[in-house]
Amino acid sequence: MIDFATARRMMVDGQIRPSDVTDLRLIAAMLDVPRERFLPPATAALAYLDLDVPVALGAERGPSRRLLKPMILAKLIQAAAVEESDAVLDVGCAAGYSSAVLAKLAGSVVALEEDASLARRAEEVLAALGITNVSVVSGPLSAGWPARAPYDVIVLQGATEVEPRTLFSQLKEGGRLVCVRGRSAAGKAMIYRRANNEVSAWPLFDATAAALPGFAEMPAFVF
C-alpha cells in the first residue's frame, strides 16, 4: 500500500523545492493537500510523480484531461504571487486539486470546469476536505466566469495555443494571469499583467502541458 503522505513530502522535496519554489505558504499548501484524493483509483498511484496525470477519459477512452505536473503548477502559482485577500479564477480545475491548493493561499476561488462529471467530483472532494472558500461552477473554459469578475489572479490548468484575450477583461487592475502557452516542446509558461487598462506578457520558463478545451488555435486557410 502506498504511503501517500511520504510520497507527498518526496514530491515537495524532490520536485518543488529544487525548482526555485521558495514561497513557504505555497510549499505548506502542497504538503497539506492530498493530491491522490482528486484522482480516480486507477491513477491515484501516479499522484506524486513528475508527470501530467490523467483525470478523465475522452470519447475514444484515451486520456483527455490531466493535472499539471506539480512543479509547473507550483511555479505558475508562485509567479502569480497570490495574496490572502485575492479572488482567484481557476480555469479547467478538473477534479479540484489546483483549486484546493489555491484555496490555502487566496481569499476565494472560483473553480471553473466544463466537464460535468469532473465538476461534481471537485465539489465532493473539496467538501470532504472541509474547504469552504471554493465555488465550483460549470461552463465553457474559454469564456471564463464573468459573473464573479474581476479577479486578482487567473490560472489556466493546461496549455493554450492562443492568447486568452477573453480572460484579460476579467482581470482587475494589477491582476495577473498565468498559463502555459503552446503545446509543443517549445511551450512557455507565461504571466500576463493588467495595468492602465492594458495587458502585457512576460515569459517565465520552458513548460509543456496538455491542451485545455477551447484554447486551440484556429486552423489557417490555405489557398
Query: Are the CB atoms for 27 and 17 separated by under 8 Å?
Result: yes
- The answer to the question of residue 66 being in a domain is yes
- The answer to the question of residue 70 being in a domain is yes
pLDDT at 95 over 70: yes
- The answer to the question of residue 96 being in a domain is yes
Cell numbers for 151, please give them.
479577479
Q: Is 119 helix (H, G, I), strand (E, B) or coil?
A: helix
Q: How confident is the model at residue 59 (pLDDT cuts 50, 70, 90)?
A: very low
- The answer to the question of residue 115 being in a domain is yes
pLDDT value at residue 77: 98
pLDDT value at residue 223: 52
d(CA 172, CA 165): 14
Identify the CATH number of the domain in which residue 177 sits. Answer: 3.40.50.150
pLDDT of 146-177, one tens digit each? Answer: 999 999 999 999 999 999 999 999 999 999 99
What's the total number of domains in the chain? 1
Query: Are the CB atoms for 76 and 154 separated by under 8 Å?
Result: no
State which residues form the domain around 146. Answer: 4-206
- The answer to the question of residue 153 being in a domain is yes
123, HSE (Cβ side, Cα atoms, 13 Å): 12
Mean pLDDT score of the chain? 92
- The answer to the question of residue 120 being in a domain is yes
Cα–chain-centroid distance for residue 8? Answer: 18
Annotated active-site residue in 64, 138, 169, 184 = 64
64 an active-site residue?
yes
- The answer to the question of residue 58 being in a domain is yes
pLDDT of 183-207, one tens digit each? Answer: 767 799 999 999 998 999 999 999 9
pLDDT value at residue 42: 87
pLDDT of 61-89, one tens digit each? Answer: 444 689 999 999 999 999 999 999 999 99
- The answer to the question of residue 221 being in a domain is no
pLDDT value at residue 1: 76
